[in-house]
Amino acid sequence: MKPAEKPHVLIAYPLRPRFMEVLKARYTLHRLDLATDKGALLEMAGPVCTAMVVNGHVAVDAAMLDGLPALKLAACSSAGFDMIDLEEMSRRGITLTNTSVALVNDVADMAVLLMLAARRRLVECDAHVRSGDWTRKGMFPLTMSTAGKRAGILGLGNIGLAIARRCEAMGLKIGYSGRNPKPGVNYDYFGDPAALASWADILLVATPGGAGTTGLISATVLDALGPQGTLVNVSRGSVVDEAALIAALRDGRIANAGLDVYLNEPDPDPELTALPNVTLFPHHASGTEETRDRMSQLTIDNLDAFFAGKPLLTPVN
């Protein structure tokens, strides 16, 4: 008996190597990510690929989807999908899945790490010891406490809730802002980011990116946060008006910031990176071996469910 043909899957962005081996064993792969002539590959693969593996770093627009007439599933291996036209996918009956549930803990941990590092000036203190300034200049200046302060979380989704739980355990009072109050949540709710910032000592941003949240952290919000305030961003660089943030940090209108994301990646504004009161991380909050493995596995699990005719694990639309 002739063996059944393996389903065809377009690879627009690869998974980790050992997970690519799993995909290779189960599916016929069409490597758009490696193709020198992407148009020719799409012309060949488009009519047969009902699923693709993609990532938030890949632009998927109507023109690309025109070349994939059989596509029914886009399994995204990242949490974010800012460059993917979700509305167009939905219009064409294509389902998007993502992996946000796989990275909640590491991203929440990084938000707390950036909060503490910014307020306690960890990077500067490290340099103070390494340079010998501790001997030459004496004890480092006093820094800012965190326990007992007010943590305002912008975006109380899975990651925001995980940040809230960590902050609550550290003795912070929690408030949040979002489109609507969350049912069953006892934290203080604020109707807009400026009101939350005015209440908070620390503003932690965990809202999705995209057009709807661009510039949400404005000069007005930063001024509301105030000269003793800390901004932490583990969402997307586009959520913050970066020029306003640079000015606020430079002028002392907020105390400090801890950032994992930037408007221009991987080349952030040098005016931002030159400031001493900002702690920087290279958009790597989910960047642990364990979490990246979970993200790859969840991508495969969604593909397997799709081809088995079972419910998808993490549909977005």
CA distance 31 to 52: 10
283 has catalytic annotation: yes
276 upstream amide cis, omega within 30 of 0: no
- The single residue of 30, 121, 128, 236 carrying the catalytic annotation is 236
Nearest CA-CA partner of 206 in 147, 162, 266: 162
253 has catalytic annotation: no
Nearest CA-CA partner of 185 in 175, 194, 198, 193: 175
- The single residue of 120, 150, 166, 283 carrying the catalytic annotation is 283
Q: Give the full edge-to-edge strand order of the sheet including 95-97.
A: 28-31, 8-11, 51-54, 73-76, 95-97
- The single residue of 87, 265, 271, 290 carrying the catalytic annotation is 265
65's tokens: 């989807």
Task: Tell me which residues are annotated as active site.
Answer: 236, 265, 283
